[in-house]
Homo-oligomer: A and B are copies of this chain.
Amino acid sequence: MKVVKNAGQIFDIELEEDLLQRNRELALENRKLLDSHGVLAVDIMGSVGSGKTSLIEQMVSCLKARYRIAAIAGDLTTTIDAERIKGRGAEVVEVNTGKECHLDANLVRKAIEELELETIDLLFIENVGNLICPADFPLGSHRRIVVTSVTEGPYMVIKHPHIFAEADAVAINKVDLSQAMGVEPEKLQEDALSINPALRVVRTNCLTGEGVEDVIELLVNWFIGKR
């Protein structure tokens, strides 16, 4: 089969590298700012409809008695996700990216400036629904979770190695539909670990809350580890 590889002719590669470098610097500044207030920030990434907002809703409900929680919700134009998270009792800043397919450290910085960091323990950052570009744009968060759903088909993990390489944990979601979809969570887990053996893998149904206790355990350990 003939294969054409992207050699980026119509992109200015140097400028792109400058942009990524500038983003990394801003991400480090965000991290320092969060650290100076003892905030643990967790970036939630995943494709459209994978269950990012549902997972954040579950985490807020389970943890709001223990931690003071805020969220930054990235979306192209709507406030649907932000309203849902707010409904669970977290303070939320909405970031509308317009046509941009990912959050960047600059946008997150502007959102952080809208929060009173001294009143927050745990900050969830919901990225835009996309499995590709968010991998290249660290935001300054301490940990990154990918939410992926069995309904995205059997090749979803192996087609997106970059994002799994950059993540600390993956939630394989909508496990109740694995039989109907003919997609085995075991195979997705195997694929994810073959890309990144250090990944923590949990299986969830974020609508019912099944498996969410495993995510909570990870979060609590990360929080303790940070102190």
Contact = CB atoms under 8 A, between A and B. Distances in A.
A104 B7 CA distance: 12
Interface centre among A6, A12, A80, A105 (most CB of B within 10 A): A6
A6 B97 contact: yes
Contacts of A83: 1
A14 to B, nearest CB: 11
B49 A92 contact: no
Contacts of A98: 5-6, 8
A174 B162 contact: no
A82 interface: yes
Number of copies: 2
A160 interface: yes
A216 interface: no
Contact of A1 (B49, B86, B151, B155): B86
A11 to B, nearest CB: 7
Interface in A132-188: 132-133, 135-136, 149, 151-153, 155-156, 158-162, 174, 177, 180-181
A77 B10 contact: no
A48 interface: yes
B161 A77 contact: yes
Q: Chain A interface residue count: which class? A: 35 or more
A69 interface: no
Given A2-B114, A6-B107, 16 more contacts: A1-B94, A4-B93, A4-B96, A5-B98, A6-B100, A9-B106, A10-B104, A10-B105, A15-B15, A47-B129, A75-B159, A76-B159, A77-B161, A101-B133, A151-B152, A177-B180
24 contacts: A1-B94, A3-B94, A4-B110, A4-B111, A6-B96, A6-B98, A6-B107, A8-B100, A10-B19, A10-B22, A12-B15, A47-B152, A48-B160, A75-B159, A76-B161, A77-B159, A77-B161, A78-B158, A99-B136, A101-B133, A128-B132, A130-B130, A130-B132, A149-B151
Interface of A: 1-6, 8-12, 15, 19, 22-23, 26, 47-49, 75-80, 82-83, 86, 92-101, 104-107, 110-111, 114, 128-133, 135-136, 149, 151-153, 155-156, 158-162, 174, 177, 180-181
